[in-house]
Structure 1
């Protein structure tokens, strides 16, 4: 009986840690939307989530990490979908297919997400932090792309360039779509943009 309890404990600990991390992220988002970026501090996020400043530091290095935790999670889901694509699929085609699978899984974006995205784009410091977050995730995608390019591609430039282009296309498509969301579905715009950008990677 004790062995069963011991085996179950790590899973429970991980779930509790994930729940605390998510609670801190949601607290950061609430504070941003209710009070603006000026009031978004580590102390305020910890208080909103009902944890200590020290507990916050166990999960995130700063307020931006807490705020953009959702973006990191989504990008890791996208990277996992890329890994699951058939091995023989060309890198750019695999990236586009993974993005389409991801958009299909996410479904319709909720109004709160719209409002948050617009607020981030209205504040240069938040936008810079978001871009930095995507730059970090670019390296993870690059590793997956490099594996698909194979050992004959000795330079890391092509994999990095392809991953960076892919993320920029998604981000620019989102920016354009947020300006006119009623005119076209996001994925229709992103698909067209990816096809255009991918001509150089065919």
Structure 2
């Protein structure tokens, strides 16, 4: 086996270990609550040492939050790749829809994660903090797309905040319904309401 194959195998093994630790953390906390689970419990469930756990995550809370389906750079690139004549709200919907399809591909893991967040409200500030970097990057991309300087009209900030709220509402509805219908359809529905100006139902 050449060194490239060996490197590929090692990278795959790392990704598998990370995913296994994440899943074990979610399952254990869903069953016992946040206070009832230690890093040692999570590591033991995957048959690795606590030291190995800390190679992947700084804390058990970080293992629960896990990675965003798309990196901040990916979201920004996705927005910037859309033709310039696509209106901002539609561009944000298309970006959110791809994200929703990725979440749907890991349906069980995400439903478990959302259940853990619901049961452990102390995780919410950490979740909000992890989303703020993404929001800043998307806001900057929206500003470039709309030709508006940040901090002037408030348009890029508001458009991004509203889009992220629409995605969050769709996720909450999706979780409450047990992962059906498809998350992307709920995202489309939320954006349709925004595009319609949120008239009274």
Same structural fold, with TM-score higher than 0.5 when normalized by the shorter chain: yes
Matching residue within 149, 154, 162 for 1:154 = 149
| Structure 1 portions without partners, runs of 5+ | none
Q: Residues 170 and 190 of structure 2 are in contact (CA less than 8 Å); yes or no, is this contact kept in structure 1? A: yes
Q: Distance in 1 between matches of 2:157 and 2:63?
A: 26
Cα shift at 1:49: 2.1
Matching residue within 32, 51, 54 for 1:54 = 51
Aligned CA-pair RMSD? 3.5
| Structure 2 portions without partners, runs of 5+ | none
Cα shift at 1:67: 1.0
Q: Distance in 2 between matches of 1:183 and 1:11?
A: 36
* Counterparts of residues 46-195 of structure 1 (less than 5 Å): 46-70=43-67, 72=68, 74-76=69-71, 79=75, 81-104=78-101, 107=104, 110=107, 113-114=110-111, 116-150=113-147, 153-155=148-150, 158-179=155-176, 186-195=183-192
Q: Distance in 1 between matches of 2:85 and 2:7?
A: 37
Q: Residues 46 and 52 of structure 1 are in contact (CA less than 8 Å); yes or no, is this contact kept in structure 2? A: yes
Q: Which residue of 2 aligns with 1:43?
A: 40
2:150 is paired with a residue whose SS is coil
TM-score by length of 1: 0.72
Answer 1 or 2: which has greater helix percent: 1
TM-score by length of 2: 0.72
